[in-house]
Chain A
Amino acid sequence: MSSTQILLIVFLPLLAAIIAGLGNRALGNTAAKSITTGALFASCLMSWPIFLGFLNGSLQETVVPVLKWVESGSLTFDWALRVDTLTAVMLVVITSVSALVHLYSWGYMDEDPDQPRFFAYLSLFTFAMLMLVTADNLVQMFFGWEGVGLASYLLIGFWFRKPSANKAAIKAFVVNRVGDLGFMLGIFGTYLVFQTTSIPDILKMAPGMSGSTIGFLGYRVATMDVLCILLFIGAMGKSAQLGLHTWLPDAMEGPTPVSALIHAATMVTAGVFMVCRLSPMFETAPVALSMVVFVGAATCFFAATIGTTQWDIKRVIAYSTCSQLGYMFFAAGVGAYGAAMFHLFTHAFFKALLFLGAGSVIHAMHHEQDMRYYGGLRKHIPLTFWAMLLGTLAITGLGVYHLKLGFAGFWSKDAIIEVAFARGTDLATFAFWMGVIAALLTSFYSWRLMFLTFWGKPRWIESEHIQHSVHKTPEQAGEDTTGGYHPHESPLPMLIPLGVLSVGAVLAGQVFAPQFLDSAAFWAGSIFYNENLIHRMHAVPYLVKYAAFIVMVLGFLGAWYAYIRNPSIPAKFVEQFRLVHQFVYNKWYFDELYNVLFVKPAFWLGRIFWVKGDKGLIDRFGPDGAAALVVQGAALAKKVQSGYLYSYALIMLLGLVAAITWVLV
């Protein structure tokens, strides 16, 4: 692992982004796509040896200094790239998924007129994400944090002619900024307490501060708790946790490869990464950790409930992401940072797979995203079906404890559920139950998605997109609910990433579980590793170990019964529990609430301050009032009206003459 290698991994995507972005149409589609995709595959190929090196223990943490950044009094921070085990894990996740998404986009974005711009944004995003995970100080992490926010904004709004895309892009940026407010205050506070923003130095000094108190907004509070809570608010924004989650479902306005890369595999996991990176610090802050557990557990349940009711295939997966991030957070909160990172790692593969698979379905279905108009696609797009099936088995966590055999999600998600149980506190037990219920719902909504999409009879002709394609109305199509539409399997550039990610979704858990979960040596101090807790995790009762498996089967059976066996059930259920369904279907009314509480008042207040404040009060009694007074004084008025400029100059000169006279005398 040479310095050059690390520099290339991080800066090649930036270079590619600049070339493709500035070259744009002059460069042409193929060149722009080749440069960015090439750069990402190069980064990816250079990242895996580093990860494997940390895996077999042959590599040590390294810091590559790049450039001085800021020195202001004792507040100094530089550009530097830090690589340790934690970073190495993120490096392979980011570069692998990004390289595959670049490749996938060759197919998915093939007909888009703006391809160089799209690929430039993708590469720019990857650069910012790499800066985030290689940060050696909190401010560079914040740079990456905002950089991915920018790329996310640009990519959500990529189809900028659509008002909905613009709204979603702005919403994503602004809601994230609410979290960033916390992050920034956290950095300021950390600097105040430790006189540094260097992450290793902070982590070293944090335990010594665990008994101290500090003033914050007029209250006296535990220092480490307030710092960690502020930083965690930043994490909540980026990782779309309960309260600051509203931007993520709307972010699905972006092209599907973007959803896979940014809003599933990488950017949204930045919050989890941050908590793990700062885990020794969080371990000095019990209240903050309780908040992490609670928010994580609540989100994993809350988002899963919404996931069961949505019709848009991408939104289902988006809420699923939100929910899975909740698992990662409560794992971190109970002290199992290795398990949190492990779930981040496996989730990146199977969630990227599910999104890219959904993209392949959408591609095949003429941009239709509503699952009500899918059905029976299994035979038409078999490769996509198999990829999605493997992704579903991975996310629902199929695996059997006694066989020591399972898909990726089995290893990571079950570990999280077990460790929450093993932790034993009331809050951890609450998280355990939320985790189990969410696992049930996960299985239900994942299979619901599969059944609605790939099984049953085709319901395609109901879709306006399909009607446009075949030039028929449902009446004209009559009995033939396909409307004569022929879904096509996606081209090779889209199928290869599906294949590679399928391998990851199947094997990532099985292969890497020993290191991620059980090896303090693997983590080598890059996260807080809780040996005793992991032992306890392995010693939980069998019923706990099989809890996730049992609810997974129940979820599957429920979905099978409601969507295959007896498809009239869902409608009856909705009829029966109208209020509950409305509440969940409308996403617990968060958007409506925020609209009433924040968005509308902001515009209303802005207008009031402008019309009543600036014009009605300040101007009326200030300059306009003064002018009116002057006009009333007739003698003065003429002089002033004869030209403001001259009177001004005159007054100035008179004053100056007076001054000099005074000094002279």
Chain B
Amino acid sequence: MGGFPILSVMLAVPLLAAIACLFLSAPQARMTALVATLVNLALGVVLWANYDIGGAQWQFVERADLFAGFSYALGIDGIALLLIVLSVFLMPICILASWEAIDKRVGEYMAAFLLMETLMIGVFSAQDLFLFYIMFEAGLIPMYLIIGIWGGADRIYASYKFFLYTLLGSVLMLVAMLWMANGAGTTDIPTLMQYDFDPHVQTWLWLAFFASFAVKMPMWPVHTWLPDAHVQAPTAGSVILAGVLLKMGGYGFLRFSLPMFPEASAQFAWLVFWLSMVAVVVTSLIALVQSDMKKLIAYSSVAHMAIVTVGLFAFNVQGIEGAMMVMLGHGLVSGALFLCVGVIYDRLHTREIDRYGGLSINMPRYATFFLLFTMASIGLPGTSNFVGEFLALAGIYQVSTWVTLVCTTGIILGAGYMLYLYWRVAFGVQKNEDAAAMPDLNVREWAMLAPIAAAVLWMGVYPESFLAPMRKDVAALEARIARAMPEGDAKLKDGEPKAAAANAVAPLPHDKGSEGGH
């Protein structure tokens, strides 16, 4: 790439477009936002194409020292690359999803979205502790605005809940960061990833970061902000929330908790396992009884994210790569499911499942997309989520068969609540006249869903495109945390192999000597 500061450009494009949007009319703002996000998507593709798989760990590095060790430092590894690609892929789709649904203060809305894109890319590319902190926390501000201004009836409650949860976590994380910068004498993330903190100190630092990341994930029991935030957010807000913002928690575990505090991570692995096991079972069951589509999908997100956390803390390659694949797959699939809800919400303005029914009669193309994403959500092989869930669970099996058993029940419960949802929305009779009169997907909606569908199948059939860039980084992470790796409960013990097959029988007396002849 020579010296072209592609990451800075990717930060600048949406930022400049955001400023421009504030001064433009509604149609102009829409077009500006679409063009800017498409430009960033193109840049993301360039970034991916030029990423040297197997090359240096940190690529596209940019650095400008500012003051007192605080620096504007950017750079990505394979893990960050994939999350950036996911972000820039979803953004134009979000703009399209808001095309008609948002009709008040369009300029400000687009500006908020574009600002959020800058901050998301910033989170995944920051190499300085405080730069990361700014991006990580500031990323929530546009989200507040989106929920608070363009959200549903109960938006104030949702945003204050969001606020209270995040406040506590971010304060603790900041204190920990201060301690680290002071103790290690650097704010450079790659250096810190190799720095060995005293294991006793690690415990406290780990807990402080955990407070922040667990809320973002979100893990049970600090998940209750998510259903409310999703329900109140406009469609595109939900897509970005589920698609990218939730991934910041997982990214935080990968970037900070595991490599910086391996001993503490091992120490607390069982805390993570317990919370995740509870999450899989409890939130799946809760999803089963929801009557609001968005709430159902929000609760299912919590269950899926629990698979991510057990995978991450399995301390092995399959677990971590699986967790990453679930994050990417879930980013696409839950985003797509929220879009599917948005499509019919735009027509009928209700999220009540009972108000729909029989949509595969009047909206067959919609029903097909919805079916694909439903199947992907329940981890059907051949779709993105299967690869991730399979690897993550295969990883955790090497640590604990109990955790695997409990988490794998998610595939049963997931099938239950998703198929029950699909039945009530797309199958059955057309019991509501207004729902039966809804037209099928228009071109804009088709253009939103088709690319995600293609990506979901691509990830399921040929995940190598996604596994290859992160392979070396995950291997490096595994090597880094290997010293703290917990012992598995399988403990295979060799024994004397049995001489004969289980159903071996003696030959018939008269058969002796004439084996095979009869």
Contact = CB atoms under 8 A, between A and B. Distances in A.
A473 B160 CA distance: 67
B32 to A, nearest CB: 25
B288 A423 contact: no
A480 to B, nearest CB: 36
A223 B171 contact: no
Contacts of A21: 368
Interface in B115-168: 130, 133-134, 137-138, 140-141, 144-145, 148, 159-161, 163-167
Contacts of B174: 655-656, 659
A289 B503 contact: yes
Interface string B206-229: 000000000000000110110000
Interface string A150-190: 10010001001101001001100110011011001101110
Tell me what chain A mostly uses at the interface: helix, strand, loop, or mixed.
Answer: helix
Interface string B490-502: 1111111110011
A623 B408 contact: no
A614 B286 contact: yes
Size class of the A contact interface (CB-based, 8 Å): 35 or more
Given A535-B511, A651-B171, A652-B170, A71 B464 contact: yes
B459 to A, nearest CB: 11
A588 B177 CA distance: 63
Contact of A213 (B289, B495, B506): B495
Contact of B502 (A283, A539, A607): A283
Interface stretch (A350-358, A364-372, A526-534, A544-552): A526-534
B492 A69 contact: no
Contacts of B133: 656, 659
B330 to A, nearest CB: 18
B393 A605 contact: no
Interface string A279-291: 0101111100100
A289 B504 CA distance: 12
B505 A215 contact: no
Given A212-B493, A284-B502, A72 B318 contact: yes
Given A609-B285, A659-B177, A184 B415 contact: no
Contact of A70 (B181, B467, B496, B516): B467
Given A161-B428, A603-B288, A659-B178, A528 B415 contact: no
A414 B241 CA distance: 62
B412 A536 contact: no
Interface string B262-286: 0000000000000000000011011
B99 interface: no
A146 interface: yes
A200 to B, nearest CB: 17
A633 interface: no
Contacts of A645: 141, 144-145, 148, 159, 163
B317 A177 contact: no
B380 A184 contact: no
A71 B148 contact: no
B507 A535 contact: yes
Contact of A192 (B141, B170, B386, B492): B492
Interface stretch (B16-24, B33-41, B244-252, B395-403): B395-403
A189 B492 CA distance: 10
B235 interface: no
B505 A423 contact: yes
A523 B496 CA distance: 29
Interface stretch (A80-88, A202-210, A404-412, A493-501): A202-210
Contact of B501 (A184, A283, A423, A520): A283
A285 B516 contact: no
A532 B508 contact: yes
A24 B363 CA distance: 13
Contact of B394 (A163, A180, A187, A223): A187
B408 A184 contact: yes
Contacts, number: 293
A188 B396 CA distance: 9
Interface stretch (B42-50, B72-80, B419-427): B419-427
B381 A146 contact: yes
Given A187-B394, A662-B182, A533 B492 contact: no
A146 B429 CA distance: 27
A602 B288 contact: yes
A236 interface: no
B496 A211 contact: yes
A618 B278 CA distance: 14
Interface of A: 21, 24-25, 67-75, 79, 139, 142-143, 146-147, 150, 153, 157, 160-161, 163, 166, 169-170, 173-174, 177-178, 180-181, 184-185, 187-189, 191-193, 207-218, 223, 280, 282-286, 289, 334-335, 422-424, 518, 520, 528, 530-533, 535-536, 538-539, 602-603, 605-607, 609-610, 613-614, 618-619, 622-623, 626-627, 644-645, 648-649, 651-652, 655-656, 658-660, 662-664
Interface of B: 67-70, 130, 133-134, 137-138, 140-141, 144-145, 148, 159-161, 163-167, 170-171, 174, 177-178, 181-182, 187, 221-222, 224-225, 282-283, 285-290, 316-318, 321-322, 358, 360, 364, 368, 375, 380-382, 386-387, 390-391, 393-394, 397-398, 401-402, 404-405, 408-409, 411-413, 415-416, 419-420, 423, 426-429, 461-464, 467, 471, 475, 478, 488-498, 501-508, 511, 515-516, 518
